[in-house]
Every structure is written in C-alpha cells, then in structure tokens.
Amino acid sequence: MADLRAALGPDRARAEPLELALYQRDAGVDRGQAAAVCFPGTVDQLAAAVGIAAWHDRPFVARGSGTGLAGGATPVGDPLVIVTTGLNRIVEVDADERVAWVEPGVLNLDLSRAVHHLGLHYAPDPSSQQACTIGGNVATNAGGPHCLAAGVTAAHVLAVEVVLADGSVAMLGGLEPDAPGYDLRGCFVGSEGTMGVSGRIAVRLTPNPPAVRTLLLDFSTIEAAAATVSGIIAAGIVPAALEMMDAEITRAVEDFVGAGYPRDAAAVLLVELDGLPAGVEAQVEAVRRVGHEHGARTVRVAADDAERALLWKGRKSAFGAIARIAPDYYLHDAVVPRTKLVDVLRQVYAIAAEYDLTMMNVFHAGDGNLHPLIVFDQRTPGVWERVHAAGDAILRACVDAGGVLSGEHGIGLEKRDAMPLVFTPDDLDAQARLRDAFDPSGRANPEKILPSGSRCGELQRVPAGAWI
Amino acid sequence: MDLTVTTAATLPDLEELRDRIAAAETVVPVGGRTHWDVGGPAPIGVEVRAPAGVVSYDPAELTVTAGAGTTVADLAATLEDGGQECVLDPRDPAAATVGGTLASGLSGYRRLRYGSLRDRLLEVRFVTGDGRVVKGGGPTVKNVTGYDLPRLLVGSLGTIGVIVQVTLRCQPRPRHVTWAGTSGDPFEVRRRCFRPSCIAWDGGDTRGLLEGDPDDVAAELHAGGLTPGDRGPAWPDGPHRGRISVRPGRLCALADELGGVDGLRWVAEIGVGTVHVGADRPAPLAQARQAAEAAGGWLLREQGDGIDGFGAGLPNRQLMARIKTAFDPAGKLSPGRLPV
C-alpha cells in the first residue's frame, strides 16, 4: 500500500473493508476478495501499479465498469484490483484515417457520441454500452446487436498498448494494416485480463451509413420467427442487426417502455438494414416478403429516427424491464449454429419447465447468440441450486447442438470449468501455452478462463460440479 | 459437441500425417507454393500437406468447413453454388490452398471493405510438432470461448502448427460488381464513396472496385467520379515482389518516395495502407523497404531472394519467441520463416 500511495497518490490506493467489498464482483454472480484496490489516473500510473504488484509478487485484476457477466473481474487469489475508469480520455481522433486513440476507461457510447459530428461511430455496441468501458470491451472481445454485419471488437481494434504482468509496456498491433510476425493484438483481445492490462487503445471508426431502416416483425409462434431468421440469411441478406425477443420478454418490455411492441406476440424480430439507399430498400422489401412467407402477422417499418430509436429502446431496455417481474436475474450467453435455433430454444423452455423457473429469451438471433434469462427471487429457498442446474443444462444443450460456451460475455470464472465440454485436454494445453507465454508469472487475473489441469502434467483438480 | 465426426470420417489420412510430423526432425507444411518466398527463407525438411476437400457447407450458417489443402478456387466453386463467397483473394486462387493463404497471412485486395484475412477464420485444427491435433476457436460466427488460437495461426507461416482443417466465415455474393477508373485524386474517391471494396492507385491511375445493389453501385460511381471499365489495376509483377504496410495517412508522402525509385512498380490500396511492389531486380525493393521504414512502416518480401523477409527486426520479439517456444519447443516447424 505504501508503494502504491507513493506512486499514485494517497487517494488512489485503498484497502478499507467497505471499499474492498465494492470490488468483490462484477455484474456476474461470483464473489471474491481483493487485497487492495487502486485507481490510476494516467497510463504511467497504470503501469506503475502493475509493476508494484510484480515487485510484491501479488496477482492483479484490472476492471473497467464491472459490467462483465462471467466473473472475469472477480478478484481471486487476494489480488490488487486496478480500476481503469479514471483513464477516460479520448486521446486523439483522426477522422481521415478513421481511427481513435482512447484510454481504457472511456465508455463505449461516449466514444460514438464524441465522433458523431464527424459522421463516424464505434461499431461494437454491447447492450451495456452506456456503462461499459472500451478497455473492458477489449478484454472480453465484446459484441452487441450490430456485430452481426460489422464484426465483434477484435475486428475494430488496431493496436493496444499493453501493460504486461512484469510492468513493462508493449505496443501490440499498429495503425499500419499488418504488423510483422505473430498477431499479438489478436491474441490479446478477448484474453479477459489474463495477458496484461490495456493502456491506450487504437480503434477503428466506421462511417455512419447513409440509409438505415428498422423493422419490427411479430409472429404467433417462435418457430415462425426462427424460420424467418434463416429465410433472411438464405435470401442473401446479412442485416446490420437481427434480434429476437420471445413472448415473455416482449410483454415485459412493452409494459416498461411502451415501444408499441405487440403484447400478444409469441415472438418479435427486430431487423435493422443499413447501407446505401437502393440496396437497403430492396432488402426491406425482401425481409417483408420473407416475413410474410413465414407467417409474420405484421411487419412494421419505422417511419423516422424517433420511431427507430423507440424500437431499439425496447430491445436495449430488456434487462431493466425484467426488474419489474422479479428482483434477480441470471443471464446466459451461448452460441448455436443458426439452423439449430428452434431445436435449442425448445430445449431451453423444457429445461425452464423442468426446474420450475421463469425463463425469457432476448438474443442476437442473426448469429445464433442465445441469451436465456432466468428471473427469480434469491430469497426463495433452494432457488440458486435450480438456477445453476438449469444453466448447466442449457449450456450442455447448446454444446450438444454444435455450439460454443460464450458469444460475447467471455468465460471468466463462471464458465471456466465448462471449458472441457468443448475443448480436449490438448486444446486446453495449447491455450495455456499461449496465455503463459504472455504472462509467465501467472499473476495476471489468475484462475480465469482455463480450468485447473489445463496444462499438460498439471494435477487434475477440477472441483465437483461445473459451476462455481 | 461431437469432436470426432469431421476428423475421423472425412480426414482419413490425418493419422499418417500426425505420425510423419511427429517423426520428422524438421517439418515444412506445403500448400500450393504460391506464397513460397513470403517471409524468411524456405526451410528444408519433411514436406507435409493438409487434406483437401470441403467437409461441410450449409449456406444458412454462412460458414464452411474444409481441409486446409483445398484450393481457394475449389472452395469458391462450392460456395458459388450457395450464392456465397469467402473473401480470401490470393493472387493465384487455382493453385493457392486455403491453409497456405491463411498461414501466409496476406489479406486480399478487398480489405478496405471486408477487413483483414484474420477476421475470416472461425475455427482451426492444426497438428503440433509432436503430432497432436489441436482445435482452436469454434464453428459459430460469434465466439469468445477461450483464447484466440485462430488469430495466432493466421500469418504464422507454418511455425506454430500444421493447419489441417478450417471453418471460415462466408458472405452473400454481391449482386453487382464492377471495377471503375479515374485519373483524379484517389483520396477524394475514398472520401466520397461510402463503402468501396478497393481503391487501387499507381501514382497516376485510380481503380475502384464497387460491389452491391446495381443502383447503389451506379450512385457510387457518380459520387466518386469513376468511369466503369472492365479491368482492375495492374498489380505489380516480376521476380521480386513485396508488400508495404504503412499507416494509410502516410500513403501520399510515401508515394512521392516510391515514385522516385527507378525500376519499381507499385500499386497502393488507399484507406488500407498496403502497397504492392514489384521489380525485375532486388535493388528497387531494397529502396522501397527503406522508404517504407522511413515512413514508419515495413516491407514484407513476397517473392525473390534478393532481400530478406522482414527487414528491421520483429517488434516484441521476446514475446514472440516465447510463443514460438511454447508451441514448438523442438524448433522443428518451418525454422527460419519468422526471425524470432
């Protein structure tokens, strides 16, 4: 603490019990315990904090706003928690090269707002974009509704100045299109803080599309909605966004926001098309046709920006809306092949029934990224066990359908011990080699992503039960 | 997920391949030899080839899984049946293999619109130097499950593992495609067009590639002051070739330097920062490398033996060396290709 206070200033390092308690967890459910927490105000201070952790041979966990849902920022191993939210300057915007340099604590939506007047935006748009940081987005390789066409964070990060676990600083990637040798930048994005901490980050800015149309389609069965998703892709259209909401969440959202969603629909699709005007209009007609072919009851095309914003407000308020139904929720994240959506959704509802839980689904249908949402009241005796068991069953159903464990939230602590469901011991060993090459000390956000036993020759000690 | 179906059922020669790799002292993965001079000198050792053939393709998934030895042209033919394409764009698609294109890491000429080659690869299976099959990534279009081994493998020039099978992201084929030209300012074309697929410039002639709805393409041609024509740019050829990587904002200044190099042919990708260079002798390439490095960029050798592969040393070399050692402790995979 003395070293931290000397390097960062007396107010920037704390170890009072109340403050440590604040940093026990992220927006997920796993709790840990920090030894100390610090708030660097410059990238140099960030590097100094990591260096001090190295000097004292102490693990460290970096965190942005703590909106992560997989326990990636949960402190494990009595670490120093490094909070990056004070590093919130947009350092430079080059409108001609369409690049911005930002500090890791810049909020996702703040960046898009700051470059709006230049006709540009930052494409990845997680639902938490008002609160989450770009540094956290880099750590989790965050997605969002508009990643269907635009790609996830990894496709929009050009360079990252990384503070490695020994406190040294390395520039990974660059503004030139290719960096010589291995794609270290690509390895780092999505590594959930286990390879080091982001300092300044160079992100690609995307021109705002000349034309945008947003459509709301509603269906009397969820199968019809899912068939429409496949039909749109089969028609040669990759929408900017393609979101699905089931009956329960549609009603919840409508009661909350009043966006004009049909309260009696079994499912609604929110489709956004963007690009140049002629192509967009042709696609609007194609989506309308595909929707009707698959039994859409109504196809509503937003008439103006205000209506468009209202339709999106419904989608992005989904998690606020459920607070009216039950005090707690557990949000899942898994991806299945698009063609398996209907099968898997059916299983998800069956699992909810089996465990007597209320389940809602609001998700990125276009890329098969499911987000089953279990709402509950944790004061109900035994409910946590059922929630966890149902989550486990959902994950297995997704994996059995040829899917993966996470589409955009990450593995963190929450899904760490499920990794063997999709990876062999040799696969995990290879991942451990990559992680250890970046951080031979193992002090960068320890115990995350890889279950113990991932390294060849390491003692197998996976705890009983897949969920922590 | 069933991990066995594809490897066992469709890649029958994998076991033999694994044994050969494990037994060899030095292993050199070979595709179509179209990128043979890329990077460091071609190593000498036991040459191994990945299996060829499309393993699975469902247009509704917008993904395709294929043996890494499949030629890019064969893959394209399969995808064309589904009205789709995978943007790989190597120089010689009839000969270049999917695995070789990925391992060389050279993004194609449509990068301005579709992004890096690295964004195509969703899942990779590779054989390690000691003969194990490792999978990285996953088969879905969106995935953050574990570390991103696919991105490590792209551009690794055969030094991490022998790529045997890949799952790639596809996209619908555009309804209309046209090259168009102007003698005007290429940077102005970029500012005026919303989403061109390529803007190529050789210092005089500008060629733009536009793809999409026919009416939109027409509008873009008008906006960019482009006249449709049936030919794309004359990509530089010759026994000595390379590519410069530089910040796109420095292309204009770099072009002045390149224009002064006697015997150098070059075409720049505006907005991307790649400059393709070619010459009949090595000296112009060496001069182009000097100019690139002075502009904060670098030049990768693609063909010829007159200059070395990378010029100035690799950045973060210690970190890269640790990665290389972690994956290939025996140093048997394509030694010398990457100077780590």
* Other CB atoms within 10 Å distance of the CB of residue A114: 17
Partner residue opposite A437 with nearest CB, options B173, B214, B319: B319
Which helix (H) or strand (E) segment holds residue B210: the answer is strand B206-212
* Other CB atoms within 10 Å distance of the CB of residue B318: 12
Measured between alpha carbons, how far is B116 from A174 in angstroms, rounded to an integer?
Answer: 13
Cross-chain residue pair A339–B61, CB shorter than 8 Å:
yes
Q: Average pLDDT of chain B?
A: 94
Measured between alpha carbons, how far is B171 from B167 in angstroms, rounded to an integer?
Answer: 13
CATH number of the domain where residue A224 is located: 3.30.70.2190
| B7-46 residues touching A, CB cutoff 8 A | none
CATH number of the domain where residue A14 is located: 3.30.43.10
Partner residue opposite A278 with nearest CB, options B107, B216, B340: B216
Which among A97, A172, A182, A294 is the top mutation candidate for probing chain B, defined by the most B β-carbons within 10 Å of its own β-carbon?
Answer: A182
Measured between alpha carbons, how far is B297 from A176 in angstroms, rounded to an integer?
Answer: 7
Q: Give the chain A residue whose CA is nearest to the CA of B247.
A: A176
From the CA of B246, how many Å to the nearest CA of chain A? 4
Domain match, A225 and A292 both: yes
Quote the percentage of chain B above a pLDDT of 90: 92
Q: Positive or negative, the Cα torsion across A384, A386, A389, A391?
A: negative
Partner residue opposite A184 with nearest CB, options B144, B316, B326: B316
Q: At residue A318, does pLDDT exceed 90?
A: no
Q: At residue B5, does pLDDT exceed 80?
A: no
Domain match, A98 and A202 both: yes
Cross-chain residue pair A187–B152, CB shorter than 8 Å:
yes
For the record, the structure tokens of A441 come out as 């000390």
Partner residue opposite B1 with nearest CB, options A170, A282, A422: A422
Q: What is the domain extent for residue B253?
A: 235-328
CATH number of the domain where residue B189 is located: 3.30.70.1710
Domain match, B65 and B164 both: yes
Q: What is the pLDDT of residues B187-227, one digit of tens each?
A: 999 999 999 999 999 999 999 999 999 999 999 999 999 99
Q: At residue B39, does pLDDT exceed 60?
A: yes
Assess if residue B335 is contained within a domain: no
Per-residue pLDDT, A453: 83
Measured between alpha carbons, how far is A288 from A231 in angstroms, rounded to an integer?
Answer: 11
Q: What is the domain extent for residue A199?
A: 90-207
Q: What is the pLDDT of residues A337-361, one digit of tens each?
A: 988 998 999 999 999 999 999 999 9
Domain match, A121 and A191 both: yes
From the CA of B181, how many Å to the nearest CA of chain A? 21
CATH number of the domain where residue B155 is located: 3.30.465.10
DSSP assignment letter at B7 = H
Q: What is the pLDDT of residues B113-144, one digit of tens each?
A: 999 999 999 999 999 999 999 999 999 999 99
Per-residue pLDDT, B133: 96
Domain match, A159 and A53 both: no
Rounded to an integer, what is the distance from CA B246 to the centroid of its chain? 16
Per-residue pLDDT, B11: 54
Q: What is the mean pLDDT of residues A302-319?
A: 90
Which residue type sits at A20? L
Domain match, B225 and B285 both: no
For residue A382, count CB atoms less than 10 angstroms from its CB and return exposed for 0-12, middle for 13-18, buried for 19 or more. exposed
Helix axis angle for B282-294 and B251-259, nearest 10°, is 150
Single residue among A56, A83, A110 that ends a domain in this structure: A83
From the CA of A247, how many Å to the nearest CA of chain B? 25
Assess if residue B340 is contained within a domain: no
Beta bridge partners of B208: B180, B199
* Complete DSSP assignment for A152-181: -GGGGEEEEEEE-TTS-EEEEE-SSS--SS
Domain match, B254 and B301 both: yes
Single residue among A83, A105, A131 that ends a domain in this structure: A83
Per-residue pLDDT band for B312 (boundaries 50, 70, 90) equals confident
From the CA of B155, how many Å to the nearest CA of chain A? 7
Per-residue pLDDT band for B3 (boundaries 50, 70, 90) equals very low
Q: What is the pLDDT of residues A384-395, one digit of tens each?
A: 899 999 999 999
Candidate from A231-235, A320-324, B45-49 with smallest mean pLDDT = A320-324
Query: Chain A contacts of B220, Cβ < 8 Å?
Result: 276
Angle at B53 between CA B49 and CA B58, to 5 degrees: 140
Query: Chain A contacts of B272, Cβ < 8 Å?
Result: 177
Per-residue pLDDT, B273: 98
Q: Give the chain A residue whose CA is nearest to the CA of B108.
A: A177
Assess if residue A202 is contained within a domain: yes
Rounded to an integer, what is the distance from CA B263 to the centroid of its chain? 26
Domain match, B44 and B167 both: yes
Q: At residue B12, does pLDDT exceed 90?
A: no
Asked whether the beta carbons of A28 and A68 are under 8 A apart, the reply is yes
Which residue type sits at A442? G
Asked whether the beta carbons of A70 and A415 are under 8 A apart, the reply is yes
Q: What is the mean pLDDT of residues B57-61?
A: 91
Single residue among A173, A207, A241 that ends a domain in this structure: A207
The domain total for chain B is 3
Q: What is the pLDDT of residues B262-304, one digit of tens each?
A: 999 999 999 999 999 999 999 999 999 999 999 999 999 999 9
Domain match, A339 and A310 both: no
Assess if residue B25 is contained within a domain: yes
Per-residue pLDDT band for B84 (boundaries 50, 70, 90) equals very high
Measured between alpha carbons, how far is A24 from A20 in angstroms, rounded to an integer?
Answer: 7
Measured between alpha carbons, how far is A391 from A1 in angstroms, rounded to an integer?
Answer: 40
Quote the percentage of chain B above a pLDDT of 70: 96
| Tokens 């105000």 found at | A41
Q: At residue A438, does pLDDT exceed 50?
A: yes
Q: At residue A265, does pLDDT exceed 80?
A: yes
